[in-house]
């Protein structure tokens, strides 16, 4: 998949709102996200960040307008096609992470890697070291801090194949050092996949060399 386009997209909950003129996304004739580019979506509370992410992976369809994946209308995709898109088209790191607290940190990453077969245990171990979690691979995820869990969630998102990487507030609980380490790893894997990167942020955001910054 080489591009994602929004055409006059507006969440149904905003259909009566008249204050969307400042948004670079909602109700705009055309907004394009291209593979290989980096995008930052700056969001204020209540501007539809969760809706934006959910629409991109087909978890919700309560909007007007059209979202196109390589010219294909998202509303025409079958369940099988959505599953394929989630498996190898768009890799999403959820804001709420959605992992398994009863499994170890490593198991949470490996559970996706088993399906993708893209990374060796050695590579994943090196990622844990780079993100400051070298001694926590075998720790139960539920006993780790939210910031530590965010780093594990990122690794889980990176082990799969993807054309676009969608990161929903990936560094909200991280300091500058860990945020920088994550950004470097993201850039490396995005370049390896020639993937687009879309980062959402409320307030403090991850420092990357963004090609475009949008206000939601």
Looking at residue 137, its pLDDT comes to 98
User: pLDDT tens digits, the chain, 216 residues: what are they?
Assistant: 999 999 999 999 999 888 899 999 999 999 999 999 999 999 998 999 999 999 999 999 999 999 999 999 999 999 999 999 999 999 999 999 999 999 999 999 999 999 878 899 999 999 999 999 999 999 999 999 999 999 999 999 999 889 999 999 999 999 999 999 999 999 999 999 999 999 999 987 899 999 999 999
pLDDT value of residue 117: 83
Residue 88 tokens read as 């190898």
Cβ atoms of 160 and 87 within 8 Å: the answer is: yes
The pLDDT assigned to 54 comes to: 97
* 8 Å CB contact between 173 and 146: yes
Contact 20, 27 (CB under 8 A): yes
Instruction: Note the pLDDT of residue 18.
Output: 84
- Do the bridges between strand 196-201 and strand 38-42 make them parallel or antiparallel, or are there none, so unpaired? parallel
pLDDT on residue 100: 97
Q: Are 7 and 30 in contact (CB under 8 A)?
A: yes
The answer to whether the beta carbons of residues 33 and 196 sit under 8 Å apart is: yes
Q: What is the pTM of this model?
A: 0.95
Domains for the chain: give ranges and CATH numbers.
Answer: 3-215 (3.40.50.300)
DSSP 1-14: --EEEEEEEEEGGG
Contact between 178 and 212 under an 8 Å Cβ cutoff? The reply is: no
List the one residue out of 128, 168, 167, 135 whose CA is nearest residue 151: 128
């Amino acid at each position: 998949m080489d591009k994602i386009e929004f055409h006059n997209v507006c969440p149904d909950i905003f259909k009566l709102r008249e204050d969307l003129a400042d948004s670079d996304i909602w109700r705009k004739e055309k907004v394009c996200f291209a593979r290989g580019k980096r995008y930052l979506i700056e969001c204020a509370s209540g501007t539809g960040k969760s809706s934006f992410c959910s629409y991109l992976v087909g978890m919700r369809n309560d909007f007007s307008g059209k979202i196109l994946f390589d010219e294909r209308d998202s509303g025409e995709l079958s369940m099988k096609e959505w599953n394929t898109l989630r498996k190898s088209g768009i890799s999403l790191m959820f804001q709420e992470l959605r992992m398994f607290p009863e499994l170890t940190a490593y198991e949470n990453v490996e559970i996706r890697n088993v399906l993708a077969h893209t990374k060796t245990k050695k590579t994943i171990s090196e990622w844990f070291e780079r993100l400051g979690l070298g001694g926590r691979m075998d720790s139960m995820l539920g006993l780790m801090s939210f910031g530590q869990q965010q780093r594990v969630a990122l690794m889980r998102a990176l082990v799969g194949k993807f054309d676009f990487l969608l990161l929903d507030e990936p560094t909200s609980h991280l300091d500058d050092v860990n945020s920088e380490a994550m950004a470097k790893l993201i850039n490396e894997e995005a370049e390896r996949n020639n993937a687009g990167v879309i980062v959402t942020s409320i307030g403090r955001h991850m420092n990357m060399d963004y090609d475009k910054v949008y206000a939601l």
